Amino acid sequence: MEVGIVIAYGLCLLFIFLFSLGQLHLTVQYLKSKKQIPVQPKPLQSVNFVSKKVFASEIAEIPDDSLQDMSVCPAVTIQLPLYNEMYVVERLIDTIAMIDYPKEKLEIQVLDDSTDQTVEIVARKVTVLRQQGLDIKHIRRNNRQGFKAGALEEGLTKAKGEFIAIFDADFLPNSDFLLQTIPWFEDTNIGVVQTRWGHLNRDYSLLTRLQAFGLDGHFTVEQGGRSQAGSFINFNGTGGVWRKSCIIDAGGWSADTLTEDLDLSYRAQMRGWYFKYLENVYVPAELPVFMDAIKLQQFRWNKGAAECARKHLKNILTNSASSRKFSLVNKVHAFLHLFNSSIFLFLLLAALLSIPMLFIKEAHPELDRLFKAGGIFLIGFLSIGFFYWIAARQISPHNSLRYYITTYPLFLIVTMGLSLFNTIAVAEGLLGVKTPFTRTPKFNIKSAHDKWNKNIYINQKISPVVVLELVLALYFIFGIYFGIRTGNFELIIFHIMLTIGFLAVAFFSIFQAGGLRFSKPTT
């Protein structure tokens, strides 16, 4: 029994260590990219968009008019997938209507699966904008089959554009978005141009600041590092543009995972397409403002990633069904990318086993050297810290040290507190347990004066998982006590962080369900 615990604990630490080294390598690649002279695309007016890469599926499925020589401005379709977004849909459509692009080459599809007042709001806005000469369509389905993926696929079959820009309901692109992204498609090998997410309500509360900190790491170091290394990269579901022929060649949108964006990204790259990531182009969006919404979003992302790992890993490692050869480094990064969410599983298991490990160490003092050898895993912790330091320096160059010191420890603590909920998501994904796509509610929250507690999309029921989070907090309090009593202080900081993390996550879940708001005080 004791041997099994030691082996399991060591394997968990090993996975976390290897994951950390992968993040360190991406950080090095990102820093390397910053030393290079940025490449700028040609002005849109001088770009030749005639496709040189034509697949049989394109000829069969793409309308003839989308294969014309659109050497100045190619036809673009903007897709807005919606489901019950009454608080944000009006500002979304108003923003998209201001996109700077020739009207005769621009089509807007509002893919509306809503069942509430959103339908009427959209219908009114579309009517007004059509009267103003905008080619905007309100597309409704009889059912939500396939959820977001199904809506995108339905719109794709009707889309006029050679390129498809996609924005979720809470994203507000700048008017020059297409002018900054479309020119990159002159390279006919590029199937996707992805941009960086910005944050409309970064400073609304502690929770939004911590989410922004984590996402900034992904949208600077991680995406930038993958791009520099030529590794697998992913479309982030919104704030990007697809080449229509790329979607079709990769097999179209599929709803067999909760992250249809990651799934299609891997299928497209396995077919030989390349992705372009533009860190300097960002699209502001709204962050979830209460804990249950954060958990919903995290659950979908982490479970979907695990589902994609289950679906694609074999083909990636063997290069079967692929028209593009990938190096060993690319395959390792793909493995770590697809199993990114599994870090929560191994983190939670290591945390749970850490207290039995204290008992084993107390009973077998001869193993003390073995436990001290585990200090090598500190390198992994430092690697993650370096990863987020570089991201913080990029996002907040004038106040990076203070920003990092005051945010990174709290980010780690809350991440630990979310490990139980995210572990459930990962386990379901790896085991093939299917659940429906659940949207993240949006609130049109930007400043500390904005309120959300009367939002009709809030589910005020407290999840049973919250009880388990409180139990885990008590468990790690015991770990702190036992460590102090036996003089084993190596894991005390770890157990303190876990205790605070689980208490914080449970606290927010319980009290925000009652309508309380934790943000800057209003004046």
Task: Please say whether the beta carbons of 356 and 10 come within 8 A.
Answer: no
Produce one character per residue of 30-54: b if its CB has 16 or more CB atoms within 10 Å, e if not: beebeeeeeeebeebeebebebebe
Residue type for position 68: Q
Which residue do the tokens 């298991």 mark?
Answer: 349
Instruction: Please name the residues in contact with 44: beta carbons below 8 A apart, sequence gap of 6 or more.
Output: 72, 73, 179, 182, 183
Catalytic residue among 113, 168, 170, 216: 113
**121-128: long-range contacts, CB 8 A cutoff, minimum separation 24:** 121/86, 121/89, 121/90, 122/82, 122/89, 122/93, 125/89, 125/90, 125/93, 125/94, 126/93
Task: Please say whether the beta carbons of 134 and 96 come within 8 A.
Answer: no
292 catalytic? Reply is no
What would the two tokens of residue 77 be?
């379709």
Q: Rounded CA gap, 381 and 251, in Å?
A: 40
Catalytic residue among 168, 249, 261, 263: 261
Produce one character per residue of 82-107: b if its CB has 16 or more CB atoms within 10 Å, e if not: bbbbbbbbbebbebbbebebeeebbb
Q: Rounded CA gap, 482 and 503, in Å?
A: 19
Instruction: Please name the residues in contact with 215: beta carbons below 8 A apart, sequence gap of 6 or more.
Output: 197, 199, 287
Residue 431 Cα distances to 122, 170, 426, 427, 428, angstroms: 39, 32, 8, 6, 5
Residue 443 Cα distances to 149, 191, 200, 436, angstroms: 23, 33, 12, 22
How, if at all, do strands 190-199 and 240-243 pair? Answer: antiparallel
113 catalytic? Reply is yes
DSSP annotation string for 460-500: -PPPHHHHHHHHHHHHHHHHHHHHHHHT--TTHHHHHHHHH
Task: Please say whether the beta carbons of 81 and 151 come within 8 A.
Answer: yes
Active site residues: 113, 261
